Amino acid sequence: MMAVEKLDTLQTVELAEGVEIRLRIAGPVLRGSAYLIDLAIRIGVIAVCSFIFFFAGIVIGENVSQGFWLLVWFLLDWIYPVFFEAGKHGATPGKRMLGLRVVQSTGSPITLGQAVIRNFLRFIDGFPAITYAIGLGSCLASKRFQRLGDLAAGTVVIYTKQLPPVVI
């Protein structure tokens, strides 16, 4: 009988001390779902701010109000993921809802610099247009499902929830 190899995202990493740890790498579907949750949160914040800045524009001027709106959009688009991933939990709200976390390839928490690199390269991963074809292609070509930002920053996205024990 021929043995069938199962698809497994469990990766073994050897640390400098010679200790081996196992990381459960998250695939592109779950990562994409987390991105859509974060996108919905950001769109909600933009919608609320649009409403507020529309009426504030009457008082402070339309150009000033539009400037504030653009500042909020910039912060949500570029700083939102960096803020959350470099924080204590290492995950945006969407990733936390799905039990994901961004860590270094060694399993350590990521640094602020790594969060900046991986998220600023999200712009390139998003090409062409909004399809994220480059990011998806690099995820599928990488053993650890890393997009270009992850490869450049030396990070991976892992599951944080524990699996039930396997009974053989």
Distance CA(52)–CA(160), nearest Å, equals 37
Q: How confident is the model at residue 4 (pLDDT cuts 50, 70, 90)?
A: very low
Give the pLDDT score at 11: 67
CA 72 to the chain's CA centroid: 20
H-assigned helices in the chain: 28-60, 62-74, 80-85, 93-97, 112-120, 122-125, 133-141, 148-153
Q: Tens of pLDDT along 73-123? A: 999 999 999 999 999 999 999 999 999 999 998 888 999 999 999 999 988
Work out the pLDDT band at 21, boundaries 50, 70, 90: confident
| 3-class SS of residue 91 | coil
Q: Report whether pLDDT(10) > 90.
A: no
CA dist., res. 3 & res. 130, Å (int): 41
Q: What pLDDT shows up at residue 8?
A: 54
- The per-residue pLDDT for range 118-165, each reduced to its tens digit, is 999 988 888 887 778 888 888 889 888 999 999 999 999 999 876 556
